[in-house]
């Protein structure tokens, strides 16, 4: 009878009989727009040459949030601290509260109470804010107050003209032009066509968010360095939405984009995800979610 060593038997067991060990599991793969893999270090090197980086996340993807922190730390080092952060997750009328927290005047519990932080703040956005706090980086609240986006949804874009001067300070300059030929708004319009009367305003409600985020990015661009902005991927995919408005407000701004996608197999980028962004973070569909 042939005798096998214990190490050989263990190797055989874990490499063939147990599907969990049949392959080397990966949490993500980074791709370029054309689907070619790219190393993290090379991606950061290229991002550091931009004026604006739009990181399009999947809101509940933990790898996307981890990658946001890694990129923030890496760009900070590569740029010798010449970095400015901003996010969809904070609304423009909360900038004062955000500044007071980063300036050490108020407690975090006050920030969380008054700044309408998202439910996943603790796990997903607090690390970014902590980094800004520790390194004295500006953090810009770029999003339109949600009450005004909801107002557009209910009553149309023109209703913004009736708001007070104080209210308009938290919105991109009026009138906001909406290009319904862009795929991002076409798709929303098509989806909304089967809804109620208010649904027809859905692309305009989306556009005022995009325009406002773009406006506050442009208004706060640092003289040197990079403005790293965090937003849902739909707000920057295919170089539309925020990207399009940035070019409207400040043509020739050097903007690079990242998006997040999920696939069953992350070893090759699926065709539908090609060209969504300059860099594509691909994570497994079975990755656990933050909510």
Evaluate if residue 156 carries a pLDDT over 70. Answer: yes
pLDDT at 14 over 70: no
Rg of the Cα trace of the chain?
22
- pTM for this model (two decimals): 0.91
Cα separation of 152 and 145, whole Å? 11
- Structure tokens given for 285: 């569909």
pLDDT in tens, 162-192: 999 999 999 999 999 999 999 999 999 888 7
Cis peptide, bond prior to residue 175, ω within 30 of zero: yes
CA distances from 33 to 37, 68, 260 (A): 9, 19, 12
Give the C-alpha separation, 2 to 29, whole Å.
43
- Residue found under tokens 């040459």: 49
Name all domains of the chain by residue range, CATH numbers in brackets. 27-284 (3.40.50.11550)
Helix (H) or strand (E) holding 29: strand 29-32
Per-residue pLDDT reduced to its tens digit, 200-212: 899 999 999 999 9
pLDDT the model gives residue 190: 86
| pLDDT tops 80 at residue 18 | no
């Amino acid at each position: 009878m042939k005798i096998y060593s214990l190490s050989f038997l263990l190797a055989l067991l874990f490499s063939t009989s147990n599907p969990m060990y049949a392959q080397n599991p990966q949490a993500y793969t980074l791709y370029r727009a054309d689907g070619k893999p790219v190393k993290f270090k090379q991606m950061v090197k290229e991002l550091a040459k931009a004026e604006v980086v739009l990181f399009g996340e999947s809101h509940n993807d933990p790898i996307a949030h981890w990658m946001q922190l890694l990129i923030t730390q890496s760009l900070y080092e590569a740029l010798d601290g010449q970095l400015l952060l901003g996010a969809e997750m904070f609304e423009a009328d909360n900038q004062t509260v955000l500044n007071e927290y980063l300036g050490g005047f108020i407690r975090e519990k006050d920030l969380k109470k008054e700044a309408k932080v998202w439910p996943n703040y603790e796990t997903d956005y607090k690390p970014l804010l902590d980094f800004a706090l520790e390194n004295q980086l500006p953090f810009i609240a770029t999003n339109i107050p949600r009450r005004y986006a909801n107002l557009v949804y209910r009553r149309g874009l023109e209703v913004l003209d009736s708001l007070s001067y104080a209210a308009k300070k938290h919105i991109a300059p009026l009138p906001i032009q909406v290009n319904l030929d862009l795929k991002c708004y076409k798709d929303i319009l098509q989806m909304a066509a089967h809804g109620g009367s208010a649904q027809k305003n859905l692309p305009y409600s989306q556009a005022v968010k995009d325009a406002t985020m773009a406006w506050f990015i442009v208004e706060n661009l640092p003289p040197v360095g990079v403005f790293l902005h965090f937003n849902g991927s739909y707000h920057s995919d295919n170089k539309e939405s925020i990207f399009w408005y940035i070019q409207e407000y400040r043509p020739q701004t050097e903007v690079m984009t990242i998006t997040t996608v999920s696939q069953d197999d992350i070893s090759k980028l699926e065709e539908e995800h090609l060209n969504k962004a300059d860099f594509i973070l691909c994570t497994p569909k079975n990755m656990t979610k933050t909510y």
